[in-house]
Amino acid sequence: MSIDYINNNKITKLIEEIYNNKILNNLIENNCIYLNETIKINNINELKNIFTKSIIIKCYINNIQFQKLKYNSIILYLYELIKDINKIKSESLLNISLEKKYTDGYTYYKNLDISVQGVNANKSIKEIYKQATSNNIKINITIRLENNNIINLEF
């Protein structure tokens, strides 16, 4: 049994042969294929329920790289940027309480003086979209889906 080693030149040539029609420009990094394509979201209904078990790879908020790559961290940061709790609550898709709640999936955030009920990744990305678009906050987020596809969303 022999092992055929493939160097980077062979991989590059193979990719060029596969995509010689130039439909996709691809970059291979860490055994994943990154599509050099950004999906611009114009409507919350365009966000399908594909984010279960996804991982955020990169996130820019108003063109500044955000280091905390968790959905909940991004939501809370948006709330901090917006500052107006009534506006946040009126636009939110999440259950938000002005009381200190620690039951039924709620977490109290002292810096915001609100309790927010936890949600899954699908609802989180919709909340990020809703708060960002309602408050003129620019988001560019790169996400690895459960199937290892990488998508870049901009709104």
Q: Do residues 18 and 81 share a domain?
A: no
Q: Do residues 62 and 26 share a domain?
A: no
What is the model's pLDDT at position 43? 76
142: nearest Cα among 65, 28, 31, 44: 65
Domain residue limits at 6: 1-37
R_g of the chain, CA atoms, integer Å:
19
Q: What does DSSP assign to residue 56?
A: E
What is the model's pLDDT at position 36? 52
Question: How many domains does the chain fold into?
Answer: 2
Quote the crossing angle between the two packed helices 121-134 and 71-82, to the nearest 10°: 20
What is the model's pLDDT at position 37? 57
Q: Which residue matches tokens 């889906």? A: 145
139: nearest Cα among 49, 39, 45, 46: 39
Is 55:143 a contact under the CB 8 Å cutoff?
yes
What is the model's pLDDT at position 6? 44
Alpha-carbon gap, residue 106 to 99, rounded angstroms:
10
In the predicted model, residues of the chain with pLDDT beneath 50 are 1-7, 21-32
Q: Do residues 23 and 6 share a domain?
A: yes
Q: Do residues 42 and 14 share a domain?
A: no
Q: Do residues 70 and 11 share a domain?
A: no
Q: Do residues 104 and 33 share a domain?
A: no
List strands edge to edge, sheet with 106-109.
96-97, 114-117, 106-109
**Digit-coded pLDDT (tens) for 1-32:** 334 444 455 555 555 555 554 433 344 444 44
What is the model's pLDDT at position 107? 97
Which tokens sit at 130? 């809703």
Q: Do residues 117 and 47 share a domain?
A: yes
In this structure, what is the dihedral angle of CA atoms 79, 82, 86, 87, given to the nearest 10 degrees?
A: -110
Is 48:153 a contact under the CB 8 Å cutoff?
no
Q: Do residues 23 and 9 share a domain?
A: yes
Q: b vs e for 19-36, b when ≥16 Cβ sit within 10 Å of the residue's Cβ?
A: eeeeeeebeeeeeeebee
Q: What is the reported pTM?
A: 0.76
Q: Do residues 26 and 80 share a domain?
A: no
Q: Do residues 74 and 136 share a domain?
A: yes
Q: Do residues 79 and 67 share a domain?
A: yes
Q: Do residues 31 and 42 share a domain?
A: no
